[in-house]
Every structure is written in C-alpha cells, then in structure tokens.
Structure 1
Amino acid sequence: MSELWTDWNGSLLAAWSFDEGSGHFVWDAAGSRRDEIEHAQRKGRFQPSQDPPWGKGISGSALSFDGYSTYIRRSAADIRQPSEGLTISAWVAPRTHEYGMEKRLAAIISRHDREKAEGYVFGVTRNGEWSLQLGLGGEWAELSTREPALPLQEWSYLAATFDGTAMKLYLNGELAASKIVAAGSVIAPSSEDLTVGRNNRGAVLVEPFVMNHFSGYIDELAILDRALSAQEITRYYERCLEPHGGKRPAVEPADFGVGRERFASDCHRPQYHLSAPSHWMNEPHAPIYFNGLYHLFYQYNPQGPFWHYIHWGHWVSEDLVHWRDLPPALRPDAILDPEGVWSGSACLDEEGYPALFFTAGNNAWRPNQAVGLARSTYPHDGDNDLVHWIKHPEPIVMQSAEANWLPEFRDPFVWRERGEWFMLVGTGIPDKGGTAAVYHSPDMKEWSCKGCLYLSDYGEYPELGTAWELPVLLPLPRADGRASGKHVLLISPWGPGAEVEVVYWIGSWDPDRCRFVPDREEPEIIDVGDFHFTGPSGMVDPKTGRSLLFTIAQGERTPEIDYDCGWSHGAGMPVSVTLRDDGRLGIEPIGEIARLRGRKLFEASGLGMEDINAGLSGVQGDMLEIGVSFEQADAVRYGLSLRRTPDGEEETVLYYDREAGALMVNRERTTLDPAERTRGIQGGPLVLAKGEKFRLRVFVDRSLIEGYANGVRSLTTRAYPSRSDALGLRLWADGEVREASIEVWEMMPAFETGKSGSQKK
C-alpha cells in the first residue's frame, strides 16, 4: 500500500495507486485484488492489440482515460458499502470537460442509481463544474461547484466527504463548497457495480457509446468509509507535494493528446491525408496563412469518436502537405457557446492579425446559433503557432428577430475586399429555399445585413434542401493565374430532400449590391462519390493567388466500428479550383502533394493492358499515387482495380463508362467484412470533349480513395478490405485497352508521429 495512505488504514474501501505504468490491470491495495481496465483498442480489431496509455503521476505513474472507452468495473458483490461516512480522494488532470448529457457526471468514481436515490457518484461536467451526489433518505442530494472550476490539463487534488450531517468538496487541500443535510442521514446502499472513469448509469448516445466518461489522468484514487477532516485532507495534500518541492507538478501539453501514433498501424486509417490525432472530426475549415505558416482548423470532439460536443481542432503546416497537430484552438464555454463551437472561417483583422469567426451554439437563443469572434494572442505572446485565442464575450452577429428566415444561422465565411469585410452566413427562407445572408462591415466590429446573396429554388431543385450550410465564395482564377472576373459559390445543402454534396455555381459577384448572379441556375457538383466529399471551406492562398478548397472525407462506418477504432472521418486532399477555357470548373489536387512521394514503384508508356498488368503484378501498397492515361481503348468501361487481393476476391474498381459518359466506382467486392457499409456502384457524369482521352489521377490512402478525372471531376470513396493482402493494383476493362500509360508512386505520411504540440518559431 502507498505510504501516502498509511494514516487511513482500516478506513479504506478501495485504493488504486496506478503505479503499474503499463498493462491493463490495476491493483486495489485495500481489497488486495486486481481490477481489469476496459479499453477499446485492446480488441485489436484493425491493428495489433494495445493497452491503455499511461503517464507520469503525482506519485509514480497515472492511468490515462480516453473519454469514451477506458474504465474499470468492479462487481457490486466485491466491494463494501460505505457505512459511517464517505471520503473520495483523487488526483486528476482532465484532458477535456464532458458535455454532461442528461445532467449526469463524467464520473471519477461511481456506484449509484440517481432515479432510485441510491449510492454515490463523484465527477465533473461541463465547463469544469464538479460534484458529489448521494442518495440520502430517499432523496438525491447534490453538492456542486463551478467556482472554483476544475482546470484543464493540470494536476488537481480533489476530495469529497460526507459525515452524516454535511457534504463537503475540497480543491487542492482547501474547502471549496459545503452543504448541510439532515442530521443522521446515511447513504442508501446501491446494488450497482462500481466504476472508475465512467458513470455506471451513463446516458446512451447511440450504441455502443455510453456518455459521461472522464477524460484525462487519474492517480492515487481512494474511497474511505468515513469522512476525513479538513486537517487530514490538507496534511495528505501537502505530503503528496513534498517530492515536488511543495508545488503541483506540471503536465506537458503533448501528454494530454491521444496521439496519432496509437493508430499508425490501423490497416484502414489514412496516413497522408489530414485527420484528427484521434476521435471524431467533421469538416476542416477556417484556412488561413500567417507569418509563413498555414493554419487549418476542424470540427473536433476530443471526448471520443462520435459526433457530439464540438471544439475546434487545429493543424499547422509550412507547405500544405506536411502538418503538425496543435491543441484545440477553441473550446465551448459556459456563457457564449455551451452547446459547442461550430464551423466558421478565418481572416486577418484590421491590424493584420488572425481572427476566427465561428458558430456559437447556445440553447438560450432563438435560433440557437450566432456568430462569434476570437482573436489570436499573437500580438502579446508572439506565438507563431497561434495556439491561444481570446473570444469576444458576446456574439458579433445574431439573426434578426424580424428576419423571415428559418431558425438555421451558421457557418460564417468572412473575407476582406476593397478594405471592407464581407460575411456569408448559411440559412434559408421558408417555402422558398436555402440561401446565404450577406453582412458587411467597414471595421470588422459593426456588421449590417445586406440581404440574401442568392436564393435557390426549392421547388425546382429540392436536392438543395431548405437551408444552406458552409457557404463559400471564392474568386475563380484561370489555370495560368490570370483573373477571370468570375467567382464560384459553393454550399452544402441541408434539410428535407437535401443531397449532402458540395454544390456549386459559377457566376458574378457584385460587392456593391452584395449579390451573386450565377451564369446558370442549375447547380452542379464537384465530386460524384456519393456523400464522401462534403463540408466545403476555402481560401485564397496569398502566396500563390490560388483559390483552394478543403473538404471532409466521410468515413461511412458503423458506430460499433468507430468505437473499436478510436477515430472517425478525415479530410480530403486540398484542391485548387480554376475557370477553364471551356467555361467549366477546373479541379486539381494541389501540386505540393508531390512532396509526399516516396519511391516511384512503376512506370510504363504506350503499352497494352496485358503488358502493363504484368509489370503491376509486383507492385503492392495501400499508400499510393497513380497517374494513368488511356490513349486507345475499345472497351466501354475501363479504369483501375485498387486494393485488390491476388485472386480478385476483394477489389474496388474506379472506371470510366464511355457509353454513359460517367465516372464510376464499383464496390460490390470491396470487402468481405459484413459489418462494413461499403457496398454498391456509385458515380456521376463525366463529359469529355470529342477525342479527349480518359486521364485519371488516383490517391489510395488505406481506406480512402480519391480519383481526379481530366481536371474536371472527382470521385471520393472508401474501401475497407478484410484481407491483409488487398494491396494489389491492375488496369481493369470490359474489353481491350490497346495503349495506356501509367506511373505509380509510394506516398509518405503527412504527420510525423510523436511530433505534436506547440513549437515556437
């Protein structure tokens, strides 16, 4: 038993020092027994089994709880009920604060049934509020404190006591809150199992995700069946700090991440595309270039691989292809955005410093969305990584109560033009269709509404939905960089009937009238991969003048698979959009992608399909770039078989259908795993000029496949082969291909694993 607990001998119900430092068992010194640690990656479903991560503790090591799957369960029969009183003592360092679904605690320790008013639970919830809750005499008693709040990413000592007359909370040896209860009260026994790091009565979001988990480190956790005195708690706190010179030790920010190196061996996780280090991400957004670095943010749930309590994740790069992970840039707070910090954009402010515009979620408003502003602390701290941001305390734009709009108001897109600022906000008009509200400001402080940018016709185009999300308006240069005078408006449809794709119009933008006039009313789509290329965001690259587009690459998997993997979704390749000479939208991956190339694995020019496939028989890989041109083909359908097993039992076929004039993917044999959703044949129109040869540039990144055809169309899809030998590549056709050319490169990761956190430049 830890020397720190010597004074408590005889009173301990359970005591875990977490000094194991590795493995998936912990020793309860009071009960003289081992407890097993539950952890999703122990299943080893798509990579070798991994035990939960550990870190340095207050004394020895500490266990890291991932926020959704790491917990300890003890059978009710194997631990005594508290009798004379109760003390819960723990050192904790939270990674993030949990949402508090159903107002339940993210439990540090839990053995209760709130509805029956039985047992006890101790833990934290939104914005650092922490609480002891007990079943007393048929009533549910709660003692909570938001001030002082439990700080993130630093060690704090928490103690909670109950002595039959009062409940008390202590933070770092000092009384933080107290509550008198009826004299002689006792804790009603609970028949529930005891859990550490998880609420034993957590709310179910969707199976298998049970909410109300603790996220971060726990060390030196003890339960006593009596109430410690204030003096005993202070003395214990001081003894814990003696090896650290009387001060609470710091925890390195990088230690709080669930690092991407834990997923590097996952056979389906993309490596050279952008992804969150772990857990859930939505669309990348708010790209900005400042002082030699590109910054890109993304919708992120640090609590687990499920959609819920959204923060702003943050990446940084010098070249748009090699990236570093940084800590979340924006987190929800109690006043402005308690329901989450949702999508937005970035621009340079009136002083030339970065500013973020975001959707603040707050159920106290109607609608429950408004535009928030955060400014970088760079002018004060010179941190070129832009790790720290300060939010304006109030929304800068709210939907007017008089506006005849739907209660949807989100995803601000802001840019500066002619020394003025313009903002688009996605919304819709009842019985008419989706639109973007336009706002104007001379100083980025006071904003005035200028009406609707362009209103879609829901009756004519129901696939555009009833409202728009993520409106983006970009100038459309020609391929040689010259101005075309045209803009492209991109949106994501929302609401009944909406087809969730990246929809666009080419047209004219009038900054005086704040209106966009499309060249043709019929909307078009960039990608024909059926819901895998969504969530647009964009920027004009100040280094090159290019208009760049960023998107989600949807994952398409079940919640059960996401749980086992520990990650969900990712980003598509950054692409450049241009106006072609034929008036169509040009779309190409950025040229910098070539910097990720490794060895050239194969090259052939002007050969028939049989000869090329003979050469490809020795090429294997799940991280590839492939360029292929079909110069002479008699076949009707021809393209590439990817992620192919030697016997063809599994394969994904990306091809051109000449008769249909379509770019297609066949996923009927993509996987033998019945749990995966990747099935069917998807695609859409690809119009080639008379005599134009089919050219395809393909990026295979484990489960993510992107194909770019003739510079005018893309197809993004997913493939999750079940066989480890699904690494092959072949030309594919339903007839003869007499002449083709091909190049194949291996590709290198975009992130250097283990290199995360802020770095001064």
Structure 2
Amino acid sequence: MNDKHKNLIKLAHQSIEEARKSVEDNHWSMNFHMAPPSYWMNDPNGFCYFNGEYHLFYQHHPFSPEWGPMYWGHAKSKDLSSWEHLPIALAPSENYDKDGCFSGSAIEKDGKLYLMYTGNVWTGNNHDTDLLQVQCLAVSQDGIHFEKISENPVIEQAPEGDIHPFHFRDPKVWKHEEVYYCVLGSRTKDHVGQVLLYRSLDLIKWDFINVAAKGEGNFGYMWECPDIFPLDDYDVLMMSPQGMKEEEYLYHNLHQSGYVLGKLDYEKGILEHGEFQLLDYGFDVYAPQTAIDEEGRRIMIAWMAMWESEMPEQSHKWAGAMTIPRVLTIEEGQIVSRPVPELKTLRQQGDSIGNKLILGEHRLQGFEGDSYELELVIDAKGANEFGIKLRVDEDQTEETVFTYNRSEGMFTFDRNKSGKGPKGVRRAPVNLVENKLHLHFFVDRSSIEVFINDGAKTMTGRIYPEKKSLGIMLFSDQEVEVTHLNKWNLNKSIKPYVCNEE
C-alpha cells in the first residue's frame, strides 16, 4: 500500500473514532443491522464469501454524515448475523480515482481477493455532466489490506456507439466457464438506462462484448449497480433504475430497485428477458448486491436508505444502514426473498400468543420493544381491513401502521406518524393464502422490514420514533383470529468498532 493511500486511511480512522460515541449514544443506532461506526454509508460493495467468511464492503464517507469523496468501508461475518468492522479497504488516493472510489464488486482469483471498482474524477462543477469514470482493480492476500494494481485503470473509457461516455460505473464481476465477465451500469447518449457486458481472461485486459440490455418505455435514464447471476433456471439482471415515472402504486421512490428474468447469451452478450419487477415495495431499498456462499445460496443485501431522503440520524454523526441479508429463490416466475435463517441465533427472550380473536384495536401488553423479530398469522375470517401497528407510544401520537385491505387486495406500509424523518405510504399487491395473511417483521431501532406471505413480497423503511414508542397493537374492522404470534427480542450483533490504523 503506497504512503498516500495509507495516510488517507489513517486519517479516516481517526475521524471515525472521534465521532463514534455520538453514534453509540443515539437511540436510533442499529442493533442488528450493519451500519457505519460513524458518518456516511451508501451502496453495498464487494459482497462475497472468501476464506470461510462473508465480506461486505460499502460506500463510505468517513469525514461527515453527508455524501462526499467515497472510500470503501469494510466488515466481515462468519454467519451473516454477527458482524465486525475492519480497516477501510480503499481510499481515493490516485489520479484516476481522486474524487471517489465508487461502487463495485469482489471476486477470488488464485487465492487472492480482488476488488473491481469505479474510479471517479470530477472535471467541472456539474456532477451530472462533468465527470470521468474508469474501472479499476485492487488486490489483497488476506482479504483486509488492499493494493491498487499498477495496470489501473483496467477499463479506461466507455465503448463507441450509443453509450454515454461519462456515466459508466458499478462493475459487478463473476466467473463463467473459466472466463471472467463484468456488467456495468450505463445510459445511452439520449439518457436511456442500459447495461454493458465485458469479458476477460485475467481480470486486467477487458473486451467489450455488447449492450446486454436496454430500457424501453418507463425504464429510467440510468441503470445503476447492475448484477447478473444465475438463479434456478434463469439468468437474473438486478439493477437500480433512476428516473422511472410513477404508475399507480408503483415507483413512488426517487429511484427503484428491481430485476428482470431471462437468459444471457454469453457469446452475443445479450440478455433476453421479461418484464421489470420490484425487489421491495417499501421506501428504502437501493443498490442491492448478491453473493453466493459455500452452500450455493444466493444472498442479497441492499442499502436501506434512499437518495435525497431526509436522514435525521445525521445530527448524531451517522447516516445509512444495510438491510438484513436475504436468501433469494424464484417461485412462480418471481423472486422470493427470505431472511437468512442464521438470524435466529440472535433471538433472546421470546413471547407468544395463539388463537386470539381481535375486533377493533387491541394493545399487546408485555410485547413492547425496539429491536425484535415478530412473526404472526392472521385468519381474516370475514374482515375487510385489518393489520398491526408497531413502535406505538402511549397516546398513539406515534405509530407505524401496516394494513391489509381485502377488497383492494393491497397491503399498506404507512409511516406518516412514525416520528421524525420522511413520511409517506407504500402499497403492495398481496393475496390472502387460504384466507390467511402471514407477516414476518424485523424491527430495529430505526427501521422495519416485513416479509409478506413467506417472502412473496417485502417492504422496507427507515423510521425515527421517540425512544418511548415501543408498543404493538392489532386492529380489525370485523373479527379476525391471530392463529399464532411469536416475538423475540434480538441481541446486538455488531461488534464495537475498534480503531485500526494499520
């Protein structure tokens, strides 16, 4: 590691350490979600399984809780439930990445871990038009300390054709039949989202193959953070389109995250695919990235925030967090997301009820909390509208409301009374299964994720309630039966940050 790179990382660690206590004292700081020890976090990067451990890198600005020149933060886990912070992996130290080590991915080669990322340089004051982006590599023997290779940048410019010359980023690399491939987020010169496919024999010399997929209709002006991977009988293209227009209950976030299912022709470099589908119907999922582990599971993690969204935690010197890891499968032509079963190891104290009839509103006494897992099945009987309220205070001035409406066939996540921060309502189409609704919640101190009907739909959102808002309430317009409800308090799973300047 050259001296400039080492010194930038040392200064970053000192900055993180100075702000760490403010984060730890904040009642919104996360218990079991991966979040920065302090200051800014966005996209997951380099999510991989290496030498028997899961590694998660992330976009990180270690000098303020706002987005800035990007570094790569780093954490690892043996089991996807408990995480420990590691030294920062990348700093913007070179001429080709001096304004940011932007998003990318990781791959093992010859026993070493390689990071492929976008080097960003601002060429003027307008960050939409005045930029130069190139693709770069860094390598590590131990998976912790990284050296940028002398051949950088390994992809110096966008290809010829109807490809925007500057917006050209977020490489996701994988190996297929002894050849390395990477896909890059791009747009046309007229600002239509697309992805580019490259191949390489050694990770250093890359050849452009083709525009693998391009948007048609309401598909946004830029596709960020693409990820192509095989799953069951499909090749999946997962990406985050920017600029999709609202359609009924769809696409109400500033930017979206979703996928298409198809088949990639590796020779022609074209992915024939079906329609776009959302990964999550809530507020705060962006830049998802997947990894495959030794069990062959395809696991996804995403940034649990949204661009230009209000982030009240910034006043406590941090911003951003990751979703819990989710196992992906394909069932009936769509991706199903389930929480990784390893999270069960975090369960602490448990409480349960069964065969309870609910009419009107009912507060669950003794089921309070701000960091828990909650699973319940509701038999709708003849009710049209029913649901659950979480993080409720004593007089219900604060509450986060989840409602199912049978006549509309819609499930609603309402955070208009969730406390500080952004408001709003998101809706997802949901069918009852044998007249029952299955809900699986993961509630942390400033977030809620719900898996509906065993992961057929998910909804995720950041919330910022007062510390005292701990209650749980059930409600229904006609009698329903809670056939079972289980709640477990969850242990803190992120090890305390230890400053490491090595």
Distance in 1 (alpha carbons) for counterparts of 2:23 and 2:490: 17
Of 176, 183, 188, the residue aligned with 1:429 is 188
Is residue 2:354 matched to residue 1:605? yes
Task: Give the equivalent residue in structure 1 for 2:118.
Answer: 359
Change in Cα spacing, 1:511 to 1:557, as seen in structure 2 (3 Å) is closer
In the TM superposition, residue 320 of structure 1 has moved relative to its aligned partner by 1.2
Question: For the aligned residues, what is the CA RMSD?
Answer: 2.8
1:588 to 338, 353, 368: 338
Corresponding residue for 2:127?
none
Q: Is the 8 A contact 1:529 1:716 kept in 2?
A: yes
Helix, strand or coil at the partner of 1:592 = helix
Are 1:270 and 2:23 an aligned pair? no
Give how far 1:733 is off.
2.5
Q: Which amino acid aligns with 1:418?
A: E
Going from structure 1 to structure 2, the CA distance change for 1:599 and 1:419 (only over 3 Å counts) comes to: same
Whose relative contact order is higher, 1 or 2, with alpha carbons under 8 Å and at least 6 apart? 2
Equivalent position SS for 1:735: strand
Q: Give the 5 Å matches for 1:22-37.
A: none
2:474 aligned counterpart, secondary structure: strand
Alignment match of 1:651 (pick from 399, 402, 406): 399
* Correspondent of 1:624 among 372, 392, 397: 372
Aligned equivalent of 1:395: 153
Displacement of 1:698 after TM fit?
0.4
Q: Which amino acid aligns with 1:386?
A: I
Match of 2:428? 684
Does the 8 Å CA contact 1:285/1:538 hold for their aligned counterparts? no
**Deviation for aligned residue 1:397:** 1.0
* 1:515-530 alignment runs, 5 A limit: 515-518=270-273, 520=274, 522-530=275-283
Give the superposition deviation at 1:637.
Answer: 2.4
Instruction: State the one-letter code of the partner of 1:737.
Output: V
Q: Is the 8 A contact 1:325 1:757 kept in 2?
A: no
State how many pairs are aligned: 486
Residue 573 (structure 1) shift: 1.0
Select the residue among 214, 225, 232 that pairs with 1:470.
Answer: 225
Q: Distance in 2 between matches of 1:516 and 1:556?
A: 28
* Contact 1:367/1:399, CA 8 A, preserved across alignment: no
- Structural mapping, 1:346-745, within 5 Å: 346-349=106-109, 351-363=110-122, 368-376=132-140, 378=141, 383=142, 385-400=143-158, 402-406=160-164, 407-431=166-190, 433-457=192-216, 460-461=217-218, 464-476=219-231, 484-495=232-243, 497=245, 499-518=254-273, 520=274, 522-530=275-283, 532-541=284-293, 543-554=294-305, 561-580=312-331, 582-600=332-350, 602-609=351-358, 613=362, 616-671=364-419, 676-688=420-432, 691=434, 693-710=436-453, 711-722=455-466, 724-745=467-488
Label 1:611 to 1:389 Cα distance change in 2 as closer, same or farther (>3 A).
farther
| Aligned mates of 2:234, 2:244 — CA distance in 1 | 31
**Which runs of 4 or more aligned residues in structure 1 lie more than 6 Å from their structure 2 counterparts after TM superposition?**
253-256, 555-560
Checking the alignment, whether the CA contact within 8 Å between 1:556 and 1:678 is kept in structure 2 is: no
8 Å CA contact 2:387–2:404 kept in 1: the answer is yes
1:565-622 deviation line (CA, Å, top 9, x unaligned) = 1001111111111011x2222111111111111111x1122221269956x2112110
Is the alpha carbon distance of 1:434 and 1:687 closer, same or farther for their aligned partners in structure 2, counting shifts above 3 Å? farther
2:26 alignment partner, SS class: coil
Contact 1:633 1:739 in 2 (8 A): no
Asked if 1:342 is matched to 2:102, the reply is: yes
Aligned equivalents of 1:588 and 1:496: distance in 2? 26
Question: 1:372·1:392 contact (CA, 8 Å) conserved in 2?
Answer: no
Following superposition, the deviation at residue 560 of structure 1 comes to: 8.6
- Any conservation in 2 of the 1:656–1:664 contact (CA below 8 Å)? yes
CA distance in 2, matches of 1:256, 1:717: 26
SS at match of 2:422: coil
Larger fraction in strand: 2
SS for the counterpart of 2:106 is strand
For residue 617 of structure 1, give the secondary structure of its aligned residue in structure 2: coil
Q: For 2:26 and 2:384, how far apart are their aligned partners in 1? A: 37
Distance 1:392 1:150, change over 3 A: closer
Q: Which structure 1 segments of 5+ residues have no match? A: 1-126, 129-148, 155-214, 217-252, 477-483
Q: Give the number of the structure whose alpha-carbon radius of gyration is greater.
A: 1
Q: 1:258 to 1:271 in 2, by over 3 A?
A: farther
TM-score computed with the length of structure 2 as normaliser:
0.89
* SS of 2:366 mapped into structure 1: coil
C-alpha distance in 2 between matches for 1:682 and 1:312: 32
Unaligned stretches of 5+ residues in structure 2: 125-129, 246-250
Q: 2: distance between equivalents of 1:721 and 1:467?
A: 34
Measured in 2, the distance between the counterparts of 1:594 and 1:423 equals 34
Distance, in Å, in 2 between the alignment partners of 1:559 and 1:739 is: 36
SS in 2 for 1:594: helix
Aligned CA distance change for structure 1 residues 341 and 150 (closer, same or farther; 3 Å)? closer
* 8 A Cα contact 1:153 1:256, kept in partner: no
Contact preservation (8 Å) 2:286, 2:306: no
Output the CA distance in 2 between the equivalents of 1:736 and 1:150. 64
Structure 2: how far apart are the matches of 1:255 and 1:469?
29
